[in-house]
Amino acid sequence: MKRALFFVGLLILLTAANVGAEEPPTLSLQQAITNALQNLPEIRAAQGGFQAAKAGEAFAQSNYYPDIHFFAEDLEGTNNQTRSSYLSLPGIPRTGQPGRSWDASNNFLGGFVVNQVLYDFGRRSSQLKTSEAGARAAGYTLEVARQEAILNVKEAYFAYLAIQRLIAADQASVAKLEKTLEMTQEGYAIGLRPKIDVSTAKTNLIDAQTVLVRAVGQLKNATASLDHAMGLETNRPYKVEDILAYAEPPGTLENFQRQAYAQRPDLKERLAQEEGARGEVEGARSNFFPFLVGSGSVNARGADFPFTSNWDVAVILDFPLNWFRVRHQVDGAKAHLTQVREQTEAARQKVALEVEEAYNDMQSARQRIPLAQQNSTEAKERLGIAEGRYKGGVGNIIEFIDAQTFLAGAETGYIRTLYDYNQAVAHLELAVGGSLTK
């Protein structure tokens, strides 16, 4: 009696403590996805790559603007047979008279030089085209990283929910077996049940408890996996919102494949790379042609104030004649374009296969769900019959325990089938490249 009162008092204290304790927040799937997109280093790395590619695009655009330099020089030296006491600077004319003198003189030179490409037969435009395609490809790489992160979160989230439901089913199984053991022990005490029934009930209870302990350990691992998928530190308390359910997705296999062709970011990345490779071919071909450059400068020079000022302008035609090298450059760019084009086609075929496999997995899981539900219903009915027979002294302990074990397996099978279905839908969404639509 005292022991019973002790446990009652302990239960009251624990209940009071739980009432005062703050409940952990509820974590929804969307919140988990948001956490991942904000916290994962893989996402930040892809964002850095995208920003670098955008900077490269801006750099290519800058080639259309003038190239401006400011220069200044203060030189002291002798003037033995020199026409000028200035160092060589591009675009600056030389002045001075020859003479012999070991006396040092001090000279100043300063000014601005402006160079502007007037026409280059597509060199700048092809470089810009390649850079723009590279920036788009980097953007699609970022989207691929995001979608993979979302899939990882969904996998970890659904795995957590499945194990959580398995624990509930295992707890119910343990509770049933505890009642069976209690009933068997009572029957043995009054001589209605043999000792073997008690041993059988104990053995099955221990097996069920072992399964429960294993599931609790798996839940801890599932929690760590979910934390990792979200980019969070472990051991952060939260309650996971249970959304493990069946919902028929819209669309057919053909619709999903068309959707994937239109929106898969990795396929768009390949297409952007192909466009960039075409820009490389155009840039290589432009090297067969000259380019026209305008140049001008304003400068001031002298040893004492006031300095002498000058200006000059020039139009320069630069015509490279290394056509043999350019031809090989064009051939290499064409070969690279062919390589990228074939890789794009291979990626397109792979997309079709991935969509079909994910769709088939989803359909298989969908068809198993009603069978698992029916199996669970039949198992409950079988357990009711077996329990009635055992209590009435008609059935034996083996029949009763088998019915309980079969029900536990049926409920576990239904949970796993539901988990398989939700996982298959998540993989189909990744294969399609977004939410499933008609």
Per-residue pLDDT of the chain (438 residues), as tens digits, is 433 433 334 344 444 444 445 678 899 999 999 999 999 999 999 999 999 999 999 999 999 999 999 988 877 766 665 555 444 454 444 444 455 556 666 778 889 999 999 999 989 999 999 999 999 999 999 999 999 999 999 999 999 999 999 999 999 999 999 999 999 999 889 888 889 999 999 999 999 999 999 999 999 999 999 999 999 886 678 899 999 998 887 789 999 999 999 999 999 999 999 999 999 999 999 999 998 999 999 988 877 777 788 889 999 998 888 888 999 999 999 999 999 999 999 999 999 999 999 999 999 999 999 999 999 999 999 999 998 998 888 888 899 899 999 999 999 999 999 999 999 999 999 999 988 765
How big is the chain, counted in residues? 438
> How do beta strands 26-27 and 239-240 pair?
parallel
76, 79, 82, 86 alpha-carbon torsion, rounded to 10°: 10
On whether the 23-67+120-289+323-432 domain is CATH 1.10.3720.10, my answer is: no
Q: What secondary structure does DSSP assign to 382-398, as a single string?
A: HHHHHHHHHHTTSS-HH
pLDDT at 100: 58
**Residue 283 is inside which H or E element, if any?**
helix 265-286
Three-class SS of residue 171?
Answer: helix
Structure tokens at 315: 């139009």
Query: For residue 244, what is the DSSP state?
Result: -
Structure tokens at 79: 């003037």
Query: For residue 249, what is the DSSP state?
Result: P
**How many C-beta neighbours within 10 Å does residue 109 have?**
20
Q: Which of 385, 395, 376, 407 shows the shortest CA–CA distance to 177?
A: 407
Distance CA 425, CA 29 (A): 14
Report the sign of the C-alpha dihedral through residues 418, 419, 421, 425, in that order: positive
pLDDT at 84: 52
Task: Establish how many alpha carbons lie within 13 A of residue 168's alpha carbon, considering only the half-sphere containing its beta carbon.
Answer: 8
- What secondary structure, in 3-state letters, does 110-159 show? EEEEEEEEEECCCHHHHHHHHHHHHHHHHHHHHHHHHHHHHHHHHHHHHH
- The pTM for the full model equals 0.82
Phi, psi dihedrals of residue 313, rounded to the nearest 5°: -130, 155
Phi, psi dihedrals of residue 184, rounded to the nearest 5°: -65, -40
pLDDT at 233: 80
pLDDT at 7: 37
Structure tokens at 388: 């009635």
Helix, strand and coil percent figures for the chain, each rounded to 5: 65, 10, 20
CB 153 within 8 A of CB 40: no
Report the sign of the C-alpha dihedral through residues 10, 11, 13, 14, in that order: positive
Distance CA 146, CA 49 (A): 14
Distance CA 180, CA 390 (A): 10
Query: For residue 248, what is the DSSP state?
Result: P
**How many C-beta neighbours within 10 Å does residue 149 have?**
22
Phi, psi dihedrals of residue 192, rounded to the nearest 5°: -90, -20
pLDDT at 353: 96
Q: What does R_g of the chain's alpha carbons equal in angstroms?
A: 39
Distance CA 165, CA 173 (A): 12
Query: For residue 237, what is the DSSP state?
Result: -
Q: Which of 362, 338, 377 shows the shortest CA–CA distance to 418?
A: 362
Q: What is the separation, in whole angstroms, between the first and last Cα of the chain?
A: 67
Distance CA 332, CA 311 (A): 44
pLDDT at 105: 67
